Amino acid sequence: MSISVTTWYLEQTSRDELSPVQEPPAEQGVRIVRSEVPSPEFSRFLYTAVGGDVTWTDRLTWSYAQWAEYLGRPGVETWVAYERGTPAGFIELEAAPDGSVEIVYFGLVPGFRGRRIGGHLLAYGIERAWDLAERRPGQAQTKRVWLHTCTKDGPHAMANYQRRGFRLYDTTVTEEPEVPAPGPWPGAGPLTPHTLAGK
């Protein structure tokens, strides 16, 4: 069985297009840190924890070597949001030689959604996309930040990106096999508020 999937492509072509967002209150204990040491174990945890209740499946079959190769590429960065020491979400960037930086993945662990972390993490990650060349000797200065999202992502993804100043530049519609949400680990099933409450 197949489903129709709409994919939207969005971009910023100037740092001035980024709309700022209010940070979470200090007492919430939110901080954002770059994961500087490539760690396939940690990155796979983030990928499955954030994407388990939607349909992030393309990397589930990656071997340890594939994760290590990807994370070790020049221009790939992972920034992680923590709330009082617990990983709450991440944003992954990948720079190209032409000065474009893609936001490859972005999202929050389900239990941390709705806590004013997402907009803050996204805005922070966009800033890091624009200044990525300052941390990467030889990297071209960022001229464009782009991403894509689709109907398989969370229901608020598109609006969140547009609130941060992204503009739509292309849309595609494809037929894809229907794949159930994998859950955060094999056999766990998709996460819901009911299961998060332990009931």
pLDDT of residue 190: 59
pLDDT of residue 197: 47
pLDDT of residue 179: 82
Q: Which fold has domain 2-180?
A: Aminopeptidase (3.40.630)
pLDDT of residue 195: 46
b vs e for 56-94, b when ≥16 Cβ sit within 10 Å of the residue's Cβ? Answer: beeeeebeeeebeebbeeebbbbbbbbbeeebbbbbbbb
5 token code pair: 């999937």
Give, for all 199 residues of the chain, the pLDDT tens digit.
888 999 999 999 999 999 999 999 999 999 999 999 999 999 999 999 999 888 898 999 999 999 999 999 999 999 999 999 999 999 999 999 999 999 999 999 999 998 999 999 999 999 999 999 999 988 999 999 999 999 888 778 899 999 999 999 999 999 988 888 888 877 776 555 444 444 3
Least Cα distance to 18 among 128, 110, 97, 151 occurs for: 128
Q: Which amino acid is at 52?
A: G
- Domains of the chain: which residue ranges? 2-180
